[in-house]
Amino acid sequence: MMAKTQYYVPVGPIHPALKEPIRVEAEVEGERIVRVDVKRGFAHRGIEYMGMKRNAIQTLYLSERICGICSISHPYAFVIGSEKALGIEAPPRAQYIRPIIAELERIHSHILWLGVVAHEMGFDSLLFWTWKGREKVLDLLELLTGNRINYSVFMIGGVRRDIKESQIKAIKDAIDFYRIFTEEMKNVFLSDPVYKARTRGVAQLSREMALKLNVCGPVARAAGLRMDVRQDNPYDAYADIEVRAIVPQDIVGEARGDAYDITLVRLYEIEQSLDIIEFCIENMPEGRIMAIPNYVVLLSKIKKTKGEAIGMHEAPRGEVVHYFKYDGTRDGPAVWKVVAPSYNNINSWAPLLLGAEVADIPIVVAYIDPCMCCNDRVAVVRDRDGRIMDYSLIHRKAVEKTMRLKRELGVRA
Amino acid sequence: MTPEFITYAFAFPILGVFLGLVYKGIDRRVSARLTSRIGPPIRQPFWDVGKLLLKETIVPENAVAWLFNAMPLVAFASSMTLLLYIPFGILKAPLEGYGDLVVILYLLTLQSLAMAIGGFASGSPFSSVGAQREMVLMMSYEMPLATVIVGFALVYRSFSLTTIATTPVWNMVGPLAGIGILLLLVALLIVTPAELAKLPFDIAEAETEIAEGMLAEYSGRNLALFYLSDAVRGFAMAAIEVVLFIPFTLSSIFNLSLTGPALYIVEGLWFLFKVLVVYLLAITLVRTSFARFRIEQASRVFWVYVNIIALVGLALVWMGV
pLDDT at B45 over 80: yes
CA angle, corner B285, sides to B279 and B291, nearest 5? 130
pLDDT at B299 over 80: yes
Q: What does the pLDDT read at residue A1?
A: 42
What does the alpha-carbon distance between residue B201 and residue B237 come to, in Å, rounded to a whole number?
Answer: 16
Distance from CA of A127 to the nearest CA of B (A): 9
- The pLDDT mean for chain B works out to 82
Which 8-state DSSP code applies to residue A43? S
What does the alpha-carbon distance between residue A80 and residue A88 come to, in Å, rounded to a whole number?
Answer: 10
What does the alpha-carbon distance between residue A1 and residue A152 come to, in Å, rounded to a whole number?
Answer: 58
Chain B residues close to A123, C-beta within 8 Å: 290-292
Which residue from A8, A122, A194 is facing B206, i.e. has the nearest CB?
A: A122
Query: What is the tens place of the pLDDT at every residue in B247-294?
Result: 777 766 676 666 777 777 877 888 888 889 988 888 888 888 777 777
In chain B, which among 34-63 make CB contacts under 8 A with chain A?
Answer: 34-37
What does the alpha-carbon distance between residue A366 and residue A127 come to, in Å, rounded to a whole number?
Answer: 14
Taking residues A327-349, what's their average pLDDT? Answer: 87
pLDDT at B185 over 50: yes
Q: What does the pLDDT read at residue A401?
A: 92
How confident is residue B47, by pLDDT bands cut at 50, 70 and 90? very high
Taking residues A40-67, what's their average pLDDT? Answer: 86
Q: Which residue is closest to A27 within chain B, CA to CA?
A: B125
Which residue from A2, A8, A123 is facing B120, i.e. has the nearest CB?
A: A2
Distance from CA of B314 to the nearest CA of A (A): 28
Higher pLDDT, B9 or A280: A280
Query: What is the tens place of the pLDDT at every residue in B118-134?
Result: 888 887 878 888 888 88
pLDDT at B91 over 70: no
Decide: A338 and A82 in contact? Cβ < 8 Å.
no
Decide: A255 and A224 in contact? Cβ < 8 Å.
yes
Taking residues A347-369, what's their average pLDDT? Answer: 82
Q: What does the pLDDT read at residue B22?
A: 92
Lowest mean pLDDT segment, chosen from A216-225, B87-96, B226-235: B87-96
Q: Which residue is closest to A2 within chain B, CA to CA?
A: B120
Query: What is the tens place of the pLDDT at every residue in A134-189?
Result: 989 999 999 988 888 888 888 888 888 888 888 888 899 999 999 999 988 888 88
Q: What does the pLDDT read at residue B142?
A: 84
Lowest mean pLDDT segment, chosen from A317-331, B29-43, B190-204: B190-204
Query: What is the tens place of the pLDDT at every residue in A1-16?
Result: 444 577 787 877 887 7
φ and ψ at B247, to 5 degrees?
-85, 5
What does the alpha-carbon distance between residue B27 and residue B38 come to, in Å, rounded to a whole number?
Answer: 13
CA-CA-CA-CA torsion sign (A257, A262, A264, A268): positive
What does the alpha-carbon distance between residue B297 and residue B140 come to, in Å, rounded to a whole number?
Answer: 11
- For the whole model, what pTM was predicted? 0.79
Which residue from B131, B207, B295 is facing A31, i.e. has the nearest CB?
A: B295
Distance from CA of A1 to the nearest CA of B (A): 8
What does the alpha-carbon distance between residue A229 and residue A231 come to, in Å, rounded to a whole number?
Answer: 5
What does the alpha-carbon distance between residue A376 and residue A394 come to, in Å, rounded to a whole number?
Answer: 19
Taking residues A252-280, what's their average pLDDT? Answer: 88
Q: Which domains does chain A have, with CATH numbers?
A: 59-324 (1.10.645.10)
Tell me how long chain A is: 413
Taking residues A268-292, what's their average pLDDT? Answer: 89
A75 preceded by a cis bond (ω within 30 of 0): no
How confident is residue A204, by pLDDT bands cut at 50, 70 and 90? confident
**Rounded (to 5) percent helix, strand, coil in chain A:** 55, 15, 35
Decide: B35 and A129 in contact? Cβ < 8 Å.
yes
Global ipTM: 0.71
What does the alpha-carbon distance between residue A75 and residue A81 come to, in Å, rounded to a whole number?
Answer: 10
What does the alpha-carbon distance between residue A144 and residue B217 come to, in Å, rounded to a whole number?
Answer: 48
Q: How many CA atoms lie within 13 A of A41 on its CB side?
A: 7
Q: Report the phi/psi class of residue A75: left, alpha or beta, with left for phi > 0 and alpha for psi in -120 to 50.
A: alpha
- The pLDDT mean for chain A works out to 86
pLDDT at A400 over 90: yes
> What percent of chain A lies above the pLDDT cut of 70?
98
In chain B, which among 283-312 make CB contacts under 8 A with chain A?
Answer: 288-297
Taking residues A189-193, what's their average pLDDT? Answer: 83
Helical ranges in B167-306 per DSSP H: 169-172, 175-195, 207-210, 220-245, 250-254, 260-279, 285-289, 295-300
| Three-class SS state of A39 | strand
Lowest mean pLDDT segment, chosen from A45-59, A295-309, B98-112, B155-169: B155-169
DSSP string, B65-119: HHHHHHHHHHHHHHHHHHHTTS--TTSPPTTTTS--HHHHHHHHHHHHHHHHHHH
Lowest mean pLDDT segment, chosen from A103-112, B29-38, B148-157: B148-157
pLDDT at A334 over 50: yes
Is B125 an 8 Å CB contact of chain A?
A: yes
Decide: A227 and A214 in contact? Cβ < 8 Å.
no
Q: What does the pLDDT read at residue A413?
A: 60
Taking residues A267-273, what's their average pLDDT? Answer: 90
